[in-house]
Homo-oligomer: A and B are copies of this chain.
Amino acid sequence: MDGSWPIDGLDWETEVCEVATMERNSKNELMVYLTWNNGKKTAHPASEVNSKCPQKIIKFYESHLQFKLVEPYST
C-alpha cells in the first residue's frame, strides 16, 4: 500500500468495490477490509468506513444477515 492510497476525500462510495470482510482486532476495535475498484486492498476502522462509504458496508451486512427466532414460532 503506497502513501497515495486510499484516496483522500470524504466520499469513497464510487471508488470502493466492496467490503471484503471485517474483524475485531486485538484492541477489540472493529476493522473493515476494503477492496477498491483498482484492485488495491486496505484496512480501516469501521468508524471511518461507516462515514465514507456507508452504502458499501450496509451491502456487506445485508449479504451476511441471518435471522434468529427469539421465541417459539407460531402462525
Interface residues, chain A, with chain B CB atoms under 8 Å away? 23-24, 30, 46, 50, 54-55, 57-58, 61-62, 65, 67
Contact = CB atoms under 8 A, between A and B. Distances in A.
Contact of A67 (B24, B61, B65): B24
B55 A58 contact: no
Contact of A61 (B23, B55, B58): B58
Classify the secondary structure of A's interface with B: helix
Contacts of A50: 55, 58
A54 B23 CA distance: 21
A54 B46 contact: no
A21 B73 CA distance: 17
A43 to B, nearest CB: 16
